[in-house]
Amino acid sequence: MLWLFSFLLLALLGAVQALSSSGSRLLVVLEELSEKDKYSQFLGDLEARGFHVRVESPKSEGVALFKHGERAYDHVLLLPGKSKGLGPALSPGNILEFMKKEGNILVTLSPDHATPTSIVSTLLELGIHLPADRNSLVIDHFNYDSASAPENHDVLLVPYPAPLRYDVRNYFMGPPDGVIAVPRAVGQTLGNDSPLLAPILRAPKTAYSYNPKDEADAVEDPFATGEQLNLVSALQAHNSARLVVLGSAEMLQNKWFGAKAELAGKPVTTANRDFVMKVSGWTFKEVGVLKVGNLQHYLDEGDVKKVINTSAFAAPEDNPTIYRIKSDVTFNVEISEWRGDHYGPFMIPQRDALQLEFSMLSPFHRIGLYPEARTHNSTIYSAHFKTPDQHGIFNFRVNYRRPFLTNVDEKRQVTVRHFAHDEWPRSFQISGAWPWISGIWVTVAGWLAFLAVWLYSAPTDKKVAVKKTQ
């Protein structure tokens, strides 16, 4: 009993501790306030994780995203409603402005309610395409729940994402045999030229998008099929604002949290509650948040390696603004990762690298940064290198962008100058110059010797010469 109690207490503490790194004000936009009960478990989970949830209908006063030019909320959750318009507060311009101010948005879709035009055009602008047919939903004749959708095949049972190649933290990875129920989802496709977009959950290979109201016998020219279709997609903007599109709003409803389903005759329990927690946690910046602390660079005299003093790391005014070409430089940067309620040291995932660029227009050096010290709240990454034989204005730049981690892009500008006239090596230190130097001195010595001989040799007898000519 005590064991159970302490387990529950731990679970409760764990839930409470996972706070968002960017504020806790959450606006839930829901048209029919009576539907709130359907989502009570999900909203309760959010509150347990420290969010101050405020549910508003789209036309009410409280839905204004800004107050005095500042964000009035940190995060927004849009639940589907009946009306086609969302009102002036949630226009595409306001939604994008909200993201420019680093607000995060979780958009949920449903084939029963036409997606509001402002959402469709906002998503289109971000490179996320929805089917033109507003009633389309994703169907799969192989991976469906035979208990709840024996006829329609529109409740998909999808395996929990296996490790995703681009999810360096394996954040969305679930138990190997986990199954997620995706009831009546609106599929999305991603514009494939945007590095900001990443799929979180793809449809199975046998799925396709289909409009059940379409009377035709065969589906002609479907919107998308198989893994082209995303059930959950993510966008992280350059300023690290996050937007996630959840194809199926029903996934958030109580009835699918740990629901019993049947896949090909076998009973399974869906892991929706866990998956939805991960998706919302990522969207609302509870995880995958990096922070750059101090940044330090200095001339390291020769081979002397300074030991990093972690308690007094980098007073930034220490950083020189000018370096000479071909001198040894050390660069240190402090990076932290959000750990639910505080910042802790950030460790680079395996198979990944953090790099420093020393660049003037294009990088002259791109070298690895390696962890050299660790404090309570950060890891200090270091690189040692020689400035290139090129003078000009250079940048120290750390540009680390990975899907599902906030972007790190830090730049420090420095000048790299030539040797000063008294900094060149002396001529006798250059072995290649020795033949010329010795040539000069041999000439000088020869000239002096000649002079000495010439000055001290006695003149010839002139009289004798005169006699001979006469």
Ligand X SMILES: *[C@@H]1O[C@H](CO)[C@@H](O)[C@H](O)[C@H]1NC(C)=O
Binding site for ligand X (CB under 6 A): 309, 311-312, 342-343, 376-377
Nearest distance from residue 342's CB to ligand X, in Å? 4
Nearest distance from residue 376's CB to ligand X, in Å? 4
Nearest distance from residue 347's CB to ligand X, in Å? 14
Nearest distance from residue 17's CB to ligand X, in Å? 12
- Per the CB < 8 A criterion, the answer to whether 98 and 71 are in contact is yes
Nearest distance from residue 190's CB to ligand X, in Å? 35
Strands (E), 339-391: 343-345, 355-360, 362-368, 370-374, 379-386
CB nearer to ligand X: pick between 223 and 338: 338
Which residue in 313, 242, 266 sits closest to 95, CA to CA? 242
CB nearer to ligand X: pick between 205 and 342: 342
Alpha-carbon distance of 53 to 33, in angstroms, equals: 14
Burial pattern 117-149, b for ≥16 Cβ within 10 A else e, equals ebbbebbeebbbbbbebbebbbbbeebbbbebb
Nearest distance from residue 411's CB to ligand X, in Å? 24
CB nearer to ligand X: pick between 311 and 431: 311
Nearest distance from residue 377's CB to ligand X, in Å? 4
155 CB-contact burial (10 Å; exposed 0-12 / middle 13-18 / buried 19+): buried
* Helical ranges in 197-314 per DSSP H: 272-283
CB nearer to ligand X: pick between 13 and 312: 312
Nearest distance from residue 291's CB to ligand X, in Å? 9
CB nearer to ligand X: pick between 21 and 94: 21
- Per the CB < 8 A criterion, the answer to whether 181 and 143 are in contact is no
Measured torsion, CA atoms of residues 432, 436, 441, 442, in degrees rounded to the nearest 10: 110
CB nearer to ligand X: pick between 146 and 310: 310
Structure-token pair, residue 6: 């302490």
Nearest distance from residue 16's CB to ligand X, in Å? 16
Structure-token pair, residue 64: 């204004």
Alpha-carbon distance of 98 to 90, in angstroms, equals: 10
CB nearer to ligand X: pick between 140 and 334: 334
Nearest distance from residue 294's CB to ligand X, in Å? 13
C-alpha torsion sign, points 191, 195, 200, 204: positive
CB nearer to ligand X: pick between 205 and 306: 306
Residue tagged 């000018």 (tokens)? 322
First-to-last C-alpha distance (Å) of the chain? 145
Nearest distance from residue 102's CB to ligand X, in Å? 19
Q: Give, in order, the Cα–Cα distances in Å from 393 to each of 100, 142, 301, 305, 360.
A: 30, 60, 22, 26, 6
Alpha-carbon distance of 245 to 274, in angstroms, equals: 17
Alpha-carbon distance of 55 to 40, in angstroms, equals: 11
Q: Give phi and psi for 138, each to the nearest 5.
A: -90, 130
What is the number of other CB atoms lying within 10 angstroms of the CB of residue 349? Answer: 13
Chain residue whose CB lies nearest ligand X: 312
- Per the CB < 8 A criterion, the answer to whether 252 and 419 are in contact is no
Alpha-carbon distance of 212 to 136, in angstroms, equals: 7
